[in-house]
Structure 1
Amino acid sequence: MLLAQPNVEKREIFFKWGLLENDYDDNKFVDTAIVGNVDFIVTNDKHFNPLKDIDFPKVEIIDIDTFLEKIKILFKKTIV
């Protein structure tokens, strides 16, 4: 169903960074974040904490409370 949407594009993985050693299965999310050039990954999963100590490629991790605060700030800016 997702692939049928006009704004969804399937990409083949050309690399695997393997940045997370404590929960290898989570690497798919990190690799996707790198390829997607995201600003941050929102998670409360402590397995992502090692990313805070990796300088390249830099993937910022924020928890859900921080994300909600960012959303509140953005929402206030759009109303004003």
Structure 2
Amino acid sequence: MSGKVVLDTNCLLMAISSRSRYYPVWQSFLQGEYTLCVTTDILEEYEEVLARNINQRVAQYILSALLERANVQMVDVFFRFRLITADPDDNKFVDCAIASNARYIVTEDRHFEVLEKIDFPKLAVIGIDRFFDEINDRCTLPPQA
């Protein structure tokens, strides 16, 4: 698995615990197997949600780990598409994916389903289970000769 990915906050939260079934998503990021695309708004949401659900120290640690990685792409969004109307706050992930030409938005949020009906810009939205499977498939494939 390689390429650019936008991770919804809840998917990041699901992946960072070493006790989580989705921990390989975090590990593969740390190993540089994909590029995580973020904006300042996304990082702020990551920090807020991590601090609320775990604690501020862990939130700071995770943000530091993100910002120090070579496989994090800071994205400047110059146009807001406003494609998700049910929860406009989710548009930060959509705009980041468009601006970075991301391969996927990884989310479990049903508000993103509206993107399947939009022809342009075309965005691939997948759930964390499918992303997890892609990571595991890559890790279990025998090396190519």
Measured against the shorter chain, the TM-score band is: 0.7 to 0.9
Correspondences of 1:13-32 after superposition (within 5 Å): 13-32=77-96
Relative to structure 1, is the Cα distance of residues 72 and 23 closer, same or farther in structure 2, using a 3 angstrom cutoff? same
| Residue equivalent to 1:47 | 111
Relative to structure 1, is the Cα distance of residues 76 and 53 closer, same or farther in structure 2, using a 3 angstrom cutoff? same
RMSD: 1.9
> Stretches of 4+ moved more than 3 A in 1?
5-12
Residue pair 2:76, 2:99 contacting (<8 A) in 1 also: no
Partners of 1:32 and 1:62 in 2: how far apart? Answer: 16
**Please, which moves more after superposition, 6-15 or 18-27?**
6-15
Q: Which amino acid aligns with 1:59?
A: L
Partners of 2:103 and 2:90 in 1: how far apart? Answer: 18
Q: Which amino acid aligns with 1:20?
A: I
Partners of 1:67 and 1:60 in 2: how far apart? Answer: 12
- Verify: 1:59 aligned to 2:126, yes or no: no
Structure ranking higher in strand proportion: 2
Relative to structure 1, is the Cα distance of residues 58 and 6 closer, same or farther in structure 2, using a 3 angstrom cutoff? same
Question: How many pairs were matched up?
Answer: 77
* Identity within the alignment, %: 43
Partners of 1:28 and 1:54 in 2: how far apart? Answer: 17
| Residue equivalent to 2:59 | none
| Residue equivalent to 1:35 | 99
